């Protein structure tokens, strides 16, 4: 191994340590007692306290498992909505011919320039008018819009993917008597699995980690998702339970890690075949 290779490897190791240190510190802190968390910045606990995990699970008035179920429900519905609606919209933009198609596609891409926080107030007013806020299913404003292809990033990703599917397959399906719906059902949908998996992974990660929108629309403790529930370890009097909070924060990372680990091969394949590679 030459000097250049050693230097490159050493630089990568240093960079890896810098990137992973916050995660290591959080895991280590989840095993520290309260006084040690406030008095030291070391990632290694001096007094091992595994009791933070059962304490955090039962610290709030609602069992923390309920928040995991709520987050799973919201993330699952968002995944289904994005996969269905965005693929249908992408198929229309990539394969169908209709008036002003280029203009509508450009306007859709333009929505990527709008910060989500700019839209939160008009969206809240609109959803309040519809009666979605505080309704019998409090997750409606968080879930239902995703069944209307509102995520332009995923539509663009799928359009790029569908454009890579040979049109000869469409023509062959039409010769066999398929309508545009039949082409979508028998040609586009089966071949779009990598793009759908990519959409599912990003939808899950972004929804699971979403805090601001869920904080705006959820007001009942029993309906909170994991990110919002973590704020309840701090109360208005200034007291806090840092050890249990870090313990639940570590647990909240596991679903994202496992979801990504299970589908990472298809994620890479979907990105490479959708025209988004650099």
Q: Is residue 88 part of a domain?
A: yes
Same domain, 89 and 132: yes
State the pLDDT at residue 277.
Answer: 43
Mean pLDDT of the region 212-234: 92
Same domain, 1 and 133: no
pLDDT for residue 116 is more than 90: no
Mean pLDDT of the region 21-39: 87
State the pLDDT at residue 82.
Answer: 95
How many structural domains does the chain have?
2
Same domain, 74 and 34: no
State the pLDDT at residue 234.
Answer: 80
Same domain, 27 and 72: no
CB proximity list for 46: less than 8 A, separation 6 or greater: 32, 36, 40
Same domain, 197 and 240: yes
pLDDT for residue 26 is more than 60: yes
Low-confidence winner among 41-45, 194-198, 271-275 (lowest mean pLDDT): 271-275
CA angle 111, 115, 118 (to 5 degrees): 105
pLDDT for residue 50 is more than 70: yes
Output 194 or 227, whichever has higher pLDDT.
227
CA torsion angle for 243, 248, 250, 256 (degrees, to 10)?
A: -170
- pLDDT tens-digit profile of 132-178? 998 889 999 999 999 999 999 999 999 998 988 898 988 898 888 88
pLDDT for residue 81 is more than 90: yes
State the pLDDT at residue 276.
Answer: 46
State the pLDDT at residue 239.
Answer: 61
Q: Is residue 278 part of a domain?
A: no
Same domain, 103 and 28: no
Output 32 or 235, whichever has higher pLDDT.
32
> Do 67 and 225 form a contact (C-beta atoms < 8 A)?
yes
Q: In the beta sheet, which residues pair with residue 240?
A: 234
Structure tokens at 30: 């989840």
pLDDT band, very low/low/confident/very high, at 104 (cuts 50, 70, 90): very high
C-alpha to C-alpha distance for 274 and 61, rounded to whole angstroms: 46
Same domain, 40 and 134: no
Check residue 180 and report its DSSP letter. H
Q: Is residue 58 part of a domain?
A: no
pLDDT for residue 22 is more than 90: no
Q: Is residue 179 part of a domain?
A: yes
Same domain, 139 and 2: no
Q: Is residue 204 part of a domain?
A: yes
* pTM given for the model: 0.87
Same domain, 22 and 86: no
The number of C-alpha atoms within 13 Å of 179 and in the hemisphere containing its C-beta is 1
Look up the domain containing 27 and give its range.
Answer: 1-49
Q: Is residue 57 part of a domain?
A: no
Same domain, 135 and 157: yes
pLDDT for residue 270 is more than 90: no
CATH number for the domain spanning 196: value is: 1.10.3720.10
C-alpha to C-alpha distance for 49 and 85, rounded to whole angstroms: 47
pLDDT band, very low/low/confident/very high, at 246 (cuts 50, 70, 90): very high
Q: Is residue 54 part of a domain?
A: no
pLDDT for residue 198 is more than 50: yes
Same domain, 41 and 81: no
Same domain, 15 and 130: no
Q: Is residue 257 part of a domain?
A: yes
State the pLDDT at residue 1.
Answer: 59
Mean pLDDT of the region 83-106: 92
Low-confidence winner among 40-44, 55-59, 135-139, 266-270 (lowest mean pLDDT): 266-270
């Amino acid at each position: 191994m030459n000097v250049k290779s050693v230097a490159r490897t050493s630089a990568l190791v240093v960079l890896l340590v810098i990137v992973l240190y916050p995660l290591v510190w959080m895991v280590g802190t989840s095993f520290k007692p309260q006084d040690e968390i406030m008095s030291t910045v070391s990632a290694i606990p001096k007094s091992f306290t595994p009791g933070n995990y059962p304490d955090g699970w039962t610290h709030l008035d609602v069992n923390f498992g309920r928040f995991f179920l709520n987050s799973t429900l919201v993330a699952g519905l968002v995944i289904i909505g994005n996969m269905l609606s965005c693929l249908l919209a992408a198929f229309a933009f990539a394969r169908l011919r209709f008036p002003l198609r280029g203009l509508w596609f450009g306007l859709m891409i333009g929505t990527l320039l709008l910060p989500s926080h700019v839209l939160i107030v008009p969206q809240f007013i609109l959803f309040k008018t519809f009666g979605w806020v505080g309704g019998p299913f409090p997750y409606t404003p968080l879930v239902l819009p995703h069944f209307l292809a509102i995520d332009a990033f995923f539509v663009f990703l799928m359009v790029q993917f569908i454009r890579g599917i040979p049109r000869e397959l469409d023509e062959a399906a039409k010769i066999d008597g398929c309508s545009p719906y039949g082409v979508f059902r028998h040609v586009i949908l089966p071949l779009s699995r990598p793009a759908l998996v990519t959409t599912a992974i990003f939808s899950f990660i972004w929804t699971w980690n979403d805090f601001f929108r869920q904080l705006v629309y959820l007001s009942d403790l029993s309906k909170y998702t994991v990110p919002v529930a973590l704020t309840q370890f701090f109360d208005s009097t200034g007291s806090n339970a840092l050890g249990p909070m870090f313990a639940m924060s570590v647990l909240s990372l596991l679903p994202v890690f496992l979801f990504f680990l299970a589908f990472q091969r298809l994620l890479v394949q979907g990105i490479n075949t959708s025209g988004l590679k650099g």
